[in-house]
Structure 1
């Protein structure tokens, strides 16, 4: 008796992502990078713009773990945007246990990505006004530098929204086009 394996379902690839969407997806990882690197500098023990008194709260192990975790999660979240323009956004890579090799249902990518785009846009909407808020625990130059490092985050939500819309358009059902 021979054992035949069930063939993997044939996945018809969507149209390639437009060049602007690929660029926008890669740009998301870069807009998150300055603030993530700044937090890592804090973890390494440098005040990075904080006054001596303001920096004391960042010297605890809990604060360091939180800042490293936040930096890694931000970069990972930004990196997932690239999946919306790459083949692994259409078929789960085979090395992933249980679901590897399966087709990604478009709405399983679109809904979380669109929700993330809205959340990120709202979260970072006030960053352009950074310098209008008091930052008594920072030095004057630190306030300028940190505000500048956080400004790119304003682009994260809109970039993710644009790439998500591109993904949706390329993967929508032919019946609805």
Structure 2
């Protein structure tokens, strides 16, 4: 299986543009991780943000690694969310020219779709249970904090289904056969 093929300028594939809804979904995904990421950054800065004193020490232990872990988690989450843009942008089809050696080469659809579907599976396992957040115990949080954190994390439940829809749309666009024209 070849991940990269000849340079795109040699034989540029006729790829249909992503539909408007897919662009909107990809940009929405980038925003889903922001509320929880900002909340994590606040925890890393020493704000309790809804945790009791004991609960805060559990989530953000003193020293470098507690806050460092929260910052890293916030950055990685947003980076993963931003990668959804590759399913609707040209850089998800052709390696940008500024990248040495492989710049300009067409990316095999499987090189994009395998990580996308793996992401769908991981995100579904991670975030779907949060739909039941308010039925989960929040002993290490204040009642108001438990409610607010639920609303900050609830958008993440939509990440897996939106990513799945984008993966399907990407696959349809990257098919080798031409688009079918339907009459109305």
Shared fold (TM-score, shorter chain, > 0.5): yes
Q: Which runs of 5+ in 1 are unaligned?
A: 1-5
Cα displacement (A) at 1:174: 1.4
Cα displacement (A) at 1:16: 0.6
Cα displacement (A) at 1:88: 0.6
Alpha-carbon contact 1:13-1:90 (below 8 Å) kept: no
Q: Tell me if 1:42 matches 2:39.
A: no
Q: 1:32: which partner in 2?
A: 33
Cα displacement (A) at 1:98: 3.3
CA RMSD of aligned residues (A): 1.9
Cα displacement (A) at 1:7: 9.3
Looking at structure 2, the residues matched to 7 and 155 of structure 1 have their Cα atoms a distance apart, in angstroms, of 34
Alpha-carbon contact 2:8-2:94 (below 8 Å) kept: no
What SS does structure 2 have at the residue aligned with 1:30? helix
Looking at structure 2, the residues matched to 109 and 7 of structure 1 have their Cα atoms a distance apart, in angstroms, of 16
Q: Tell me if 1:169 matches 2:172.
A: yes
Q: 1:78: which partner in 2?
A: 81
Deviation readout 1:111-131 (Å, 9 max, x if unpaired): 110111122112111101111
Deviation readout 1:58-111 (Å, 9 max, x if unpaired): 133111111111111111111111011011111111222332221111111011
Looking at structure 1, the residues matched to 172 and 40 of structure 2 have their Cα atoms a distance apart, in angstroms, of 36
Query: Residue 157 of structure 2 is aligned with which of 137, 154, 157?
Result: 154
Looking at structure 2, the residues matched to 63 and 78 of structure 1 have their Cα atoms a distance apart, in angstroms, of 23
TM-score (ref. length: structure 1)? 0.91
Q: 2:117: which partner in 1?
A: 114
Q: Which runs of 5+ in 2 are unaligned?
A: 1-6
Relative to structure 2, which stretch is displaced further, 57-66 or 21-30? 57-66
Looking at structure 1, the residues matched to 86 and 8 of structure 2 have their Cα atoms a distance apart, in angstroms, of 25
Looking at structure 1, the residues matched to 78 and 98 of structure 2 have their Cα atoms a distance apart, in angstroms, of 22
Looking at structure 1, the residues matched to 18 and 49 of structure 2 have their Cα atoms a distance apart, in angstroms, of 39
Q: Tell me if 1:12 matches 2:13.
A: yes
